[in-house]
Amino acid sequence: MLKAKDRLGIIFFPAYDWAISPTHPEREERLLYTQDQLREEGIFDIDGITEHKPDIALPEDVTRVHFLIPNVVAVTTESHLISAGGAIRAARLVMEGTTEKAFALVRPPGHHAMKVVHGNRGFCNINIEAIMIEHIREHYGQKRIAVVDTDCHHGDGTQDIYWHDPNTLFISMHQDGRTLYPGTGFIEESGGPNARNRTINIPLPPETCDEGFISVIDNVVLPILADFKPDLIVNSAGQDNHYSDPITNMKFTARGYALLNRKLNPNIAVLEGGYSIQGALPYVNCGIALAMAGLDFDNLREPDYDEARLRQAGSVTERIKQVNDKVLERYFKPLRSGQFEPGSFVTREKNIFYDTDMIREHQRESVMACEKCAGLLVIETTSTINDLSVCIEIPIGACDHCRDEGLSILDEARRRGHYSHIKFINRRDKIYSS
Amino acid sequence: MRIGLDVGGTHTDAVLVGTEGLVSIAKVETDRDNLLASVLSAFQQILNDADPKKVEAVTLSTTLTTNVLLEGKAEEVGVIVSSGPGIDPLLHRAGSHFFAVDGSIDHRGEERRPLNKRQLEDAVAEFRGQGIRAYAVVTKFSTRNPSHELLIESAIGREADIITAGHRVSGGLNFPRRINTAYFNSAVWRTFNDFAYAVAEGICGMGLSMPINILKADGGTMTFASSRNLPVQSILSGPAASIMGVAALCRIGGDAIILDIGGTSTDIAIFAGGSPLIEPEGISLYGRPTLVRSLRTKSIAVGGDSVLRAGNGTVTIGPDRLGPCMASGGSRPALIDAFNMVCEIAFGDVEASRRGISELAMESGRSAAEIAAIAVEKSVEAIATAVRHMLDELNERPVYTIHELLHTDKIVPSGLIIIGGPAQAFSRRLSQAFGLEAIVPKVHSVANAVGAALTRTTMDIELFADTERGVLLVPRLSVNRTIDRNYSGADARRDAEQYLLASVGAAESADAQVIEESSFNMMQGPRLAGRNIRVRSQIKPGLIPAYVNGVKASC
């Protein structure tokens, strides 16, 4: 009988009664064939692999992370709370020592959902990894956490949420933004003034194969992780780098995904995108489950696997090497420029497009440059469906100055009364209110 | 009238039950080397005072197949599998004659690589050369497309006495379990059939001609004819007989806990909404999971004769038995002696119990009263913890739709029924532990046979339809037909019910139920390519209503 080397809990929740629309890629049967494959392989009978039901995330799990405009009910449904709850269940399994590892095979995904949410973008409403991570920090103490996003699309939502957090390392490897949605994730995007180099983007050329992905893991991701020394590694396990995916241009295989997972060795994996529901997901998910359990996956292959077609072109290999070198250089030999005066606000303007819901948003985001904490965050936002609103976050472990300043800005906003919504997250005193 | 016959390890019990209640009882010692003689002798006795013509049916519960495996008398089985990509099929090896042949069918039931005929011929030739006459053939996703199993079956040909094809064992998915189930089925087939024939002949010789049913592990019966092909389903039917016996005698309404406390173990079963719960996939035999449906029971190593050991100021219970408890003349103190000591009961030789516990106490540095109290406390806690754990598992079982996640009712037991020799001793403490009134029914020693006599036929099927491929399969019933593009979920539901009822004889129509059904649109880009439809339906274990009032005991 097969026995897992590492006990693995799988939260399998396919939401068979939920779709964005009947013909949308994010629809009912997305995980149907994955379930068939996992069952037929007998994955859940392997000694040490267990199946678990998701939790349902509470509204406070969401409002701890996001500024939801106008409110939780307007931008989330039960499906989102269950998907986030699946990730939370995965975290609980690991944090409580029930299993060594956990894989949340849940939908809908979350990595395009940003700090401020007006609606759905990139099939995502709320960021299920961020909700899970902040649930961990709230209930099990502050942790250094690394998120490695292996979805083919840049994890722009997760990047946005952790842009200013020095305790979260966000690494995204994805198809180059010049060739794919959401069009971001360039090497130069590397974190806010208080979290320099805590965001790492690795844009890869189209047609990257197993060889290329593995070289990025070996040469860039693992050395940076070794330097950051996280307490926990989370894999945003999107599966649309697969050669059969209908909306991307990469050539990754199920065995490649399994090998990547074995090398990365994440504590928790969370499904993100991946819409080749017959040709890729059944095999990729099976591979990830086997790899996380420390089992052999040498015989795992897609039925139409063709080694010759999946060999990487020399020009692609060359391009990846250039990207790797550039990322490593920026991380290990950072330039000493762009220092900001502590106690002053650093501001950027952002235009955000919600492709699923066709909403346009404009943001003015200001963060207090601070040497003692992640810095007070103030965002003014307007969108095609919501008038000017303000969002204020006092971060976990905020210094007195950042907290006091945040409270006074909140008072001022309330007094002047010209915002249509005022959103407030106070992680230091655990107050998450509107 | 109906006859129930339960072949146990020590006794073979038979009952004749009429609508007014028990008509007669027979009890003979089981001759393990000649089960047939035991069965026929019990029959003879029971029919002494009955008119054979009024007997509607006989149900037989036997440990025969279990014993075959337990005693290592299983027949050598030639196992031929084909898996395609995935977990290495050699890791699922069952028995010592195992071949994996190249070929692949995917989750949709599409052939992705043809079966390698050469390898198949080699495997068949080798097994024939070894004189093998029992086979199991299993290919991955055969319940979505049995064609490769059928090819292997015909390659083996008529020289085989039994070929168990995986798709006929169960319509569900799970390749390793299908291998194990098909293997076990072929391994016990010959012994079971020899026995079943002999019983049938013997009964016939007594001038009887009623149908013979065989009890299954899920608490229901199968016809004699279907048992000849799937004897594996008769495995471990013992606990099922006793649970259905309790159900018959106590008429359980809502959610309830059933505890069967024996000499060295306690079996736990849970009823939900008046029906016993079934294992979601199947029972495990000798550490190998199968697709044999069975009642969901859990066994823990705590029983009346569990030996007590003391040391370090505490006491351990079992898991072994070293003879009977001292109250029954044994030489080592056991759990029942502790219950005697704390005056929960006064069973047998109470003085002997006290003496035994006192000796134990001397080794531990505590008083005899303390040692006994600890043993009682620990044993009750062990049982209560196991029950709670089982309930948690049931209530935490995965669901796959938002509707079920939000609206599935939890199982909250409102009844506690305890049977078995030491039941009375445990009842007060267990009642406290669960906050429920404990019922210890006056079940006579033939409850198992009553359960066998009164339980009805069960069956479960899975229907799979793919309108893009235009196929409909009910693997267990060898149904494989074409359908048109308009075939719908409603059509599938109706067809599943008809196939199910036809498979057991339409008489029991009231209780066909759909357990799971789904109908998914399959998209090809933006185009609707077809529907993927699955229906699981069953006739769940239950009692034949006309007889239940007659046998009802004081519960």
pLDDT tens per residue, range B384-438 = 999 999 999 999 999 999 999 998 889 999 999 999 888 999 999 999 999 999 9
Probe site for chain A from B81, B106, B533 (most A CB atoms < 10 A): B106
Gap between the Cα atoms of B185 and A42, Å rounded? 19
pTM assigned to the model: 0.94
Residue A33: which of B107, B140, B289 has the nearest Cβ? B107
Across the range B270-282, mean pLDDT stands at 91
Q: Do A29 and B177 touch (CB under 8 A)?
A: no
pLDDT digits (tens, 9 = 90+) for B206-245: 888 888 999 999 999 999 888 999 999 999 888 899 899 9
Q: What are the CA-CA distances from residue B314 to residues A343, B41, B352 (Å)?
A: 64, 50, 21
Q: Do B521 and A27 touch (CB under 8 A)?
A: yes
Nearest to A305 by CA among A258, A235, A237, A247: A258
Gap between the Cα atoms of B423 and B102, Å rounded? 55
Q: Is A102 touching B (CB cutoff 8 A)?
A: no
Probe site for chain A from B113, B393, B405, B536 (most A CB atoms < 10 A): B405
Q: Is B410 touching A (CB cutoff 8 A)?
A: no
Least confident interval from A133-137, B123-127, B505-509: B505-509
A112 noted as active-site residue: yes
A82 neighbourhood in chain B, CB within 8 Å: 402, 405
- DSSP letters spanning A365-378: EEEE--SSSS--EE
Q: Do A54 and B405 touch (CB under 8 A)?
A: yes
Q: Is B141 touching A (CB cutoff 8 A)?
A: yes
pLDDT at B63 exceeding the cut of 90: no
CB within 8 Å of chain A, chain B residues 509-528:
518, 520-523, 525-526, 528
Q: Which pLDDT value is given to residue A24?
A: 87
Q: Is B489 touching A (CB cutoff 8 A)?
A: no
Q: Do B406 and A78 touch (CB under 8 A)?
A: yes
**What H or E segment, with its residue span, contains residue A245?**
none
Q: Which pLDDT value is given to residue B507?
A: 58
Q: What are the CA-CA distances from residue B254 to residues A204, B132, B345, B395 (Å)?
A: 60, 50, 30, 16
Q: Do A42 and B84 touch (CB under 8 A)?
A: no
Nearest to B439 by CA among B259, B242, B272, B241: B259
A186 or B422, which is more confident? A186
A56 neighbourhood in chain B, CB within 8 Å: 405-406
Q: What are the CA-CA distances from residue A177 to residues A120, A203, A221, A378, B294 (Å)?
A: 20, 7, 19, 28, 54
pLDDT at B150 exceeding the cut of 70: yes
Gap between the Cα atoms of B457 and B252, Å rounded? 19
Is residue B348 within 8 A of residue B324, CB to CB? The reply is: no
Q: Is B403 touching A (CB cutoff 8 A)?
A: yes
Q: Do A41 and B88 touch (CB under 8 A)?
A: no
Q: Which pLDDT value is given to residue A337?
A: 63
Residue A299: which of B88, B173, B520 has the nearest Cβ? B88
Burial A313-346 (b: 16+ CB within 10 A, else e): eeebeebbeebbeebeebbeeeeeeeebeeeebb
- DSSP letters spanning A274-320: ---TTTTHHHHHHHHHHHHTT---TT---TT--GGGGPPPHHHHHHH
pLDDT at B501 exceeding the cut of 60: yes
Is residue A141 within 8 A of residue A168, CB to CB? The reply is: no
Q: Residue A429: how many CA atoms within 13 Å on its side-chain side?
A: 14
- Rg of chain B (C-alpha set): 26
Q: Is A382 touching B (CB cutoff 8 A)?
A: no
Q: Where does the pLDDT of residue B253 fall: very low under 50, low under 70, confident under 90, or very high at 90 and above?
A: confident
pLDDT digits (tens, 9 = 90+) for A315-356: 999 999 999 999 999 999 987 666 788 999 999 999 999 998
pLDDT at A251 exceeding the cut of 80: yes
Q: Do A42 and B87 touch (CB under 8 A)?
A: yes
Q: Which pLDDT value is given to residue B554?
A: 66
Q: Do B173 and A39 touch (CB under 8 A)?
A: yes
Q: Which pLDDT value is given to residue B109?
A: 96
A20 neighbourhood in chain B, CB within 8 Å: none
In which region does residue A123 sit, left (phi positive, over 0), alpha (psi from -120 to 50) or beta (all else)? Answer: left
Q: Do B405 and A53 touch (CB under 8 A)?
A: yes
Looking at the predicted complex, does its ipTM rise above 0.90? yes
Q: Is A36 touching B (CB cutoff 8 A)?
A: yes
Classify residue A148 as exposed, middle or buried by CB count within 10 Å of its CB (0-12, 13-18, 19+): buried
Q: Where does the pLDDT of residue A400 fall: very low under 50, low under 70, confident under 90, or very high at 90 and above?
A: very high
Gap between the Cα atoms of B156 and B77, Å rounded? 13
Spatial neighbors of B389 by CB under 8 A, at least 6 apart, are: none
Across chain B, what does the average pLDDT equal? 92
Q: Is B88 touching A (CB cutoff 8 A)?
A: yes
